Amino acid sequence: MIIPAIDLIDGKVVRLQQGDFARRTEFSFDPLERIKDAAAGGAQLMHIVDLDGAKDPAKRQLSLIAKLVKASPLPIQTGGGIRTEADVKSLLDLGVERVVVGSAAIRDPAFGCHLLDAYGPEHITLALDVSIIDSVPYAAVHGWQERSQHTLYELIELFLPHGLKHVLITDISRDGMMAGTNTALYHDCHEKYPSLDIIASGGISSLEDVAAAARAGAGSVILGRALLEGRFSVKEAAACWQNA
């Protein structure tokens, strides 16, 4: 399915290039209106990244997220700097549908396994941001500044016995760059793990990129900058996805 995304800093809709706060573009959109427009276009889920929370968990935009969840016609998937079980619980208690957990689960797989066991795999999305080194996808942590020793596939294998369902995979080199998505990566993941909901993210700039991700076996695709810049609409993307 199509998952429109908005990244938020101090309540404002922004986009970063390759996760770099210094390479930030701010958009004059109201977050709730973006969510309502996405629903009207046929989206079934909204992805929200709390960049304040990612930078400093003490500055997580909980009041804004609570307001958006309450008013949203769509279920919300959100993350950004999720480090503790309390972070996860606080968001689920607000009514968030899925919490995105990345670096904390990569650094401590036992923690990720516990979250899947305690809250159910339907409510936890594992975010695996990867760097491709010699054709091998390695997970990255700490805002993409460090490379984990674990490969993408090693991590998936660790979490599968605990019911892993949703995996958000981003090729760092493509995020925010509008250079097309890594279809080979998603194809390999789908071939290895056909039961997983592989969520493609990063680099999607055209409807052809949307169709390519679907053909590669991705179960969902996150659309950020392309929608914000009006390259195509949610309705067009949804139709493209269904017909790929």
Does residue 49 surpass a pLDDT of 50?
A: yes
Q: What's the total number of domains in the chain?
A: 1
Longest dimension (CA), the chain: 46
What confidence score (pLDDT) does residue 148 get?
Answer: 65
Note the pTM of the prediction, 2 decimals: 0.91
Task: Tell me the pLDDT tens digit for each residue of 18-32.
Answer: 667 778 888 889 999
Q: State what percent of residues in the chain have pLDDT above 70.
A: 93
Spatial distance between the Cα atoms of 118 and 124, rounded to a whole number of angstroms: 10
Does residue 154 surpass a pLDDT of 90?
A: yes
- Strands 166-171 vs 146-151: parallel, antiparallel or unpaired: unpaired
**Binning pLDDT at 50, 70 and 90, where does residue 13 land?**
very high
DSSP H helical segments within the chain, as ranges?
31-40, 51-55, 62-71, 85-93, 103-107, 109-119, 152-159, 183-192, 207-215, 225-228, 234-243
Question: Which carries the bigger pLDDT value, residue 85 or residue 131?
Answer: 85
Choose the weakest-confidence range: 23-32, 152-161, 209-218.
23-32
What tokens appear for 232 in the block?
A: 């195509």
Question: Which carries the bigger pLDDT value, residue 158 or residue 136?
Answer: 158
Residues recognised as catalytic: 7, 129
Q: Which domain holds residue 11?
A: 2-243
What confidence score (pLDDT) does residue 147 get?
Answer: 63
Determine which helix (DSSP H) or strand (DSSP E) holds 61, and give its type and residue range. Answer: none
Choose the weakest-confidence range: 53-57, 67-71, 148-152.
148-152
- Inter-residue contact 130 to 140 (CB < 8 Å): yes
Choose the weakest-confidence range: 7-21, 46-60, 129-143.
129-143
Q: What's 118's domain CATH number?
A: 3.20.20.70
What confidence score (pLDDT) does residue 173 get?
Answer: 65
What confidence score (pLDDT) does residue 138 get?
Answer: 87
- Strands 98-101 vs 76-79: parallel, antiparallel or unpaired: parallel
What confidence score (pLDDT) does residue 144 get?
Answer: 46
